[in-house]
Amino acid sequence: MTSSAEPVEDKLVALASIAAELHSVMGVVWNVSLAGKNAKVISAQAGDKGRGFRPITESIDEISQQAIRGVDEISSEALRLSKISVHEQRSIDAYQRFNSVVKKDADAKYIKTISPAVKKVEDKMRTSMSEFKKSMNHLTLLLETMDQCMLSARAVASVSRIVTSSGQEYRDKLTVVSNDLDKAASYIKQRLSNSYRHLNNVNALRQKGI
């Protein structure tokens, strides 16, 4: 798997790379979820002694649920975007070929008879282009939300390290969970930033009309 996106990469390759980045995130997100479950168990075991860090264990659990949902959503949107992109590419190609007939063979006796088909091909191209844009914006939003979620995860992890509580034994357990969470969140953040880069490349290529 590639983590660096060359600015010259193909649009479809860039989109496939996003899907690949997210695939690798999937496994790690389960670690976040495990951290959430462990945090809840620790909190339950600690009983009254764990009252001080209960808000933190609850936050960890909440973040883990959010992360699983988020990655799921991002994956399916990335897949959708790849599919739309193929349609878009095909419709642009068709439009260019039809349009070249209209330009090159303007003197053909029956050239006007192709107009309805050209119009349909053009409409199809515009629809797929706007669908692509919509999906692209949606994916960007999902990536941003997920990034925020991971930022919160890291913040919670660092707070949990300094939380004071009477139960030293439970605090140590919580520190292990927090470290796991921090590691997973920073890995996911890295993958998200790679995905961003691929997405920016797609945007740049589109603006150049490639």
- According to the binding rule CB under 8 A, does residue 125 interact with other proteins? no
- Nearer to other proteins among residue 44 and residue 108 (C-beta): 108
- According to the binding rule CB under 8 A, does residue 104 interact with other proteins? yes
Minimum separation from the CB atom of position 144 to other proteins (A): 36
Q: Which of 15, 29, 121, 199 binds other proteins (CB under 8 A)?
A: 121
For residues 114 and 101, the answer to whether their CB atoms sit within 8 Å is: yes
What does the longest C-alpha to C-alpha distance in the chain come to?
92
- Nearer to other proteins among residue 1 and residue 106 (C-beta): 106
DSSP alpha helix (H) spans, the chain: 11-46, 54-104, 115-162, 168-208
- Nearer to other proteins among residue 24 and residue 89 (C-beta): 89
Hey, what are 176's tokens?
């292990």
Cα separation, 75 vs 25, in Å, equals 10
- According to the binding rule CB under 8 A, does residue 126 interact with other proteins? no
197 by Cβ neighbours in 10 Å (0-12 / 13-18 / 19+) ranks as: buried
Q: Which of 51, 120, 126, 161 binds other proteins (CB under 8 A)?
A: 120
- Nearer to other proteins among residue 109 and residue 208 (C-beta): 109
Residue 141 has, within 13 A of its CA and on its CB side, a CA count of 8
Q: Is the dihedral of CA 23, 26, 27, 29 positive or negative?
A: positive
Minimum separation from the CB atom of position 80 to other proteins (A): 20
Q: Which of 114, 155, 204, 205 binds other proteins (CB under 8 A)?
A: 114
- According to the binding rule CB under 8 A, does residue 12 interact with other proteins? no
Which of these, 209, 141, 173, 137, lies nearest to 53 by C-alpha position?
Answer: 173
- According to the binding rule CB under 8 A, does residue 105 interact with other proteins? yes
- According to the binding rule CB under 8 A, does residue 16 interact with other proteins? no
Instruction: Measure CA 201 to chain center.
Output: 15
Site residues (CB under 8 A) for other proteins?
Answer: 90, 94, 97-98, 100-101, 104-105, 108-111, 113-114, 117, 120-121, 124
